[in-house]
Copies of this chain bind each other. A is one copy, B any other.
Amino acid sequence: MSEKNEDMIVTPWKVSGEVDYDRLIEQFGTQPITENLLERIRKHTGEIHLQLRRRIFFSHRDLDWILDMYEAGKKFVLYTGRGPSGPVHIGHLVPWFFTKHLQDKFDAKLYFQMTDDEKFLMHPEFTLGKVIDLTYDNALDVIAVGFDPEKTFIISDVNHIKTLYKLAIRVAKHVTFSTVRAVFGFEESSNIGMIFFPAIQAVPCFIESMLTGENVPCLIPAAIDQDPYWRMTRDVAPKLGYYKPAQIHCKFMPGLGRGGKMSASMPETCIFTTDPPEVAERKVWNAFTGGKPTLKEQRLEGGDPSICTVFQYFSFFFEEDDKALKELEVRCRSGDIICGECKEKLAERVKRFLSEHQKRREKAKDVINDFFIDDKV
């Protein structure tokens, strides 16, 4: 372990410190996404998605095996999710757009889990009514991403437990308190709902297999902080006669403040999907950049895109064109452009995106029941 980043914490409940993704690959025992793997993917997708070519999705487990299976004619399902503890922000949406890309290119079903039970159990002040409302609210954002209603199944743990419980207790039977303590850091004072919950989060890996009676591979695109769940789930899977779920892990989209993952607990550094355009614009204008204190210094010395959140936003989502992104970087470093220009451009793109997303989000209200799993299986 290097001396640097000793304050790095990456767990399903907390991400803090400067995140060293190479070290996470080592710590978690995952595999980096290689050029080789990208070439294999390109054969099926015809292009390499922005989030792969820029290594926003940077790590995996068994993605090569998923491709082996796919190439042998065995389709996989996708599984991702959301803990509905507040409104959705752009940091949440980023991997969902990638998941939609995978759904489209691999013609894959998607199980999307809303872990409303966990959020209720974790937050002393949350009522069931609150998490159920948040599930509905957040589901609108999921749907607005454009997933195929025929192939997408949104699961509210609280409301759709009937579909989950049999698999959950089959999983739970193979998981001891020792294990969840070691994997998740549970303590004597943890409530018994939280202790059981990892079994619930494991379930969507196996729903397709349960429903079809076949053993169906599952690929989980999600941020790397969720990895402990899948380590546990991978240990249990063979005991149930199912394939271990494969994973593809993404980085955290930074907030607009100085350092750290985008977090709803710092609303000023975080663009929510329902922010009015002028609010989002203000947040972009207040963003932390790699610019110099004065215009003169900026022109002379240039800025530092590597620490600039505005540049990160272009890179993660708002500049599709690699050449344009590269040019932006070069012009910043040379002092050819100043922060105001970048912010103006990003603000325009954010506002355009929000305006379109918000329209799709409104339309989602009419079709939300086409997505909930209990109405479909």
**Is B161 in contact with A177, judged by CB distance below 8 angstroms?**
no
**Is B162 in contact with A177, judged by CB distance below 8 angstroms?**
no
Q: Majority SS of interface residues in chain A?
A: helix
Is the C-beta of A198 less than 8 angstroms from some C-beta in chain B?
A: yes
From known contacts A161-B162, A188-B178, infer whether A169 and B199 are also in contact, taking CB-CB under 8 Å. no
Closest to A170 in B: B128
Is the C-beta of A196 less than 8 angstroms from some C-beta in chain B?
A: yes
Is the C-beta of A172 less than 8 angstroms from some C-beta in chain B?
A: yes
Q: What 0/1 pattern do residues 137 to 171 of A give for CB contact below 8 A with B? A: 00000000000000000000010011001101110
Is the C-beta of A2 less than 8 angstroms from some C-beta in chain B?
A: no
- Chain B residues near A128 (CB-CB < 8 A): 166, 169-170
Q: What 0/1 pattern do residues 160 to 200 of A give for CB contact below 8 A with B? A: 01100110111011111110110000111111110110110
Is the C-beta of A121 less than 8 angstroms from some C-beta in chain B?
A: yes
**Is B192 in contact with A193, judged by CB distance below 8 angstroms?**
no
- Chain B residues near A191 (CB-CB < 8 A): 172-177
In chain A, positions 97-150 with a C-beta closer than 8 Å to chain B are: 117, 120-121, 124, 128
**Is B177 in contact with A188, judged by CB distance below 8 angstroms?**
yes
- Chain B residues near A175 (CB-CB < 8 A): 191-193
Complex CA gap A198/B191 in Å reads: 12
- Chain B residues near A198 (CB-CB < 8 A): 192
**Is B199 in contact with A192, judged by CB distance below 8 angstroms?**
yes
Complex CA gap A189/B176 in Å reads: 5
**Is B177 in contact with A121, judged by CB distance below 8 angstroms?**
no
**Is B166 in contact with A165, judged by CB distance below 8 angstroms?**
no
**Is B177 in contact with A190, judged by CB distance below 8 angstroms?**
yes
- Chain B residues near A195 (CB-CB < 8 A): 177, 192, 195-196
Complex CA gap A166/B198 in Å reads: 17
Closest to A132 in B: B166
Complex CA gap A174/B193 in Å reads: 9
Complex CA gap A168/B197 in Å reads: 12
**Is A193 in contact with B196, judged by CB distance below 8 angstroms?**
yes
Closest to A120 in B: B169
- Chain B residues near A199 (CB-CB < 8 A): 192-193
From known contacts A128-B166, A165-B161, A195-B196, infer whether A190 and B172 are also in contact, taking CB-CB under 8 Å. no
Complex CA gap A190/B181 in Å reads: 12
In chain A, positions 239-284 with a C-beta closer than 8 Å to chain B are: none
**Is B188 in contact with A176, judged by CB distance below 8 angstroms?**
yes
**Is A121 in contact with B162, judged by CB distance below 8 angstroms?**
no
- Chain B residues near A190 (CB-CB < 8 A): 176-177
Complex CA gap A177/B178 in Å reads: 12
- Chain B residues near A178 (CB-CB < 8 A): 188-189
- Chain B residues near A186 (CB-CB < 8 A): 177
- Chain B residues near A196 (CB-CB < 8 A): 172, 192-193, 195-196
Complex CA gap A181/B192 in Å reads: 11
Complex CA gap A53/B188 in Å reads: 44
Complex CA gap A32/B231 in Å reads: 52
Q: What 0/1 pattern do residues 67 to 109 of A give for CB contact below 8 A with B? A: 0000000000000000000000000000000000000000000
Chain A interface (Cβ < 8 Å from any Cβ of B): 117, 120-121, 124, 128, 158, 161-162, 165-166, 168-170, 172-178, 180-181, 186-193, 195-196, 198-199
Known A121-B172, A192-B198; 12 more pairs at CB < 8 Å: A161-B161, A161-B162, A161-B165, A168-B193, A172-B193, A175-B193, A176-B190, A177-B187, A177-B188, A192-B199, A193-B196, A196-B196
